[in-house]
Structure 1
């Protein structure tokens, strides 16, 4: 199962939000009668103007002691900053056009914001 989240703003709670999505999907799989769960992979695509500063692992949010960290889960999500993708390396033309379009939207918004300052 692939979960995709698109963000244009930074969300400090993203690691918890993505985990909630995953847990709800696992729960739905169980109540639908699945004996074995299909794994979830969460990917966050970001196209905002600021550097992403939100935690990407649950441990980054924890008030923790070293002696306890081996006893609790450390959840994470995969993070992709769309602005940083080198589209020349994308072989599939439809995917390349999609990424270039999102990059173009970001550049257009950035230019408009810069002009309004």
Structure 2
């Protein structure tokens, strides 16, 4: 969806629908859309997804916007998103000399009709285990489901 290639639209999306404290600290004047060549190889065919680089408190962060036009809920979407994020981090690792990676905030923008009821964090996909939770992988995304937002709020955009 080309509309999200415009930083002002993504800014409005974040300010209106991402209810997390860190959003108010983002320096939107620094918004820079990453070139699609920077996407991991498995993502190159997904023209709808967008990655923005942004500054917060003088440090670089990323907003990774996954846009889903599916008509059904993908129960394992979380795994695909986690894989894309890890591939993105691997691209960052290869392109720089730093030992630590900048944080990335993953957003799922869902526009289907069925209510999105798939897990939003990896631990919800794992069976209970005797393995301590701190040794299990963790990943979470922020969901924006268009069908869950009151129409009066959507019109404000």
What TM-score range do you get, normalising by the shorter chain? Answer: 0.5 to 0.7
Question: What residue in structure 1 maps to residue 89 of structure 2?
Answer: 26
Higher RCO structure (Cα 8 Å, ≥6 apart)? 1
**By how many angstroms is 1:86 displaced?**
4.1
Q: Please give the secondary structure, in 1, of the residue aligned with 2:89.
A: helix
Contact 2:65 2:108 in 1 (8 A): yes
Distance 1:67 1:28 in 2: 31
Find the structure with the greater CA-based Rg. Answer: 1
Distance 1:14 1:41 in 2: 16
Question: What residue in structure 1 maps to residue 140 of structure 2?
Answer: 76
Distance 1:81 1:65 in 2: 31
**Higher helix proportion, which one?**
1
Question: What residue in structure 2 maps to residue 60 of structure 1?
Answer: 124
Superposed CA offset, 1:4-37 (max 9, x none): 1122331111111111111111111111124031
**By how many angstroms is 1:50 displaced?**
0.9
- Once superposed, what is the RMSD of the aligned Cα atoms? 2.2
Superposed CA offset, 1:73-93 (max 9, x none): 221100011123346557xx7
Q: TM-score, normalised by structure 1?
A: 0.67
**Higher strand proportion, which one?**
2
Q: Aligned pair count?
A: 93
Q: TM-score, normalised by structure 2?
A: 0.52
**By how many angstroms is 1:66 displaced?**
5.1
Distance 1:66 1:80 in 2: 33
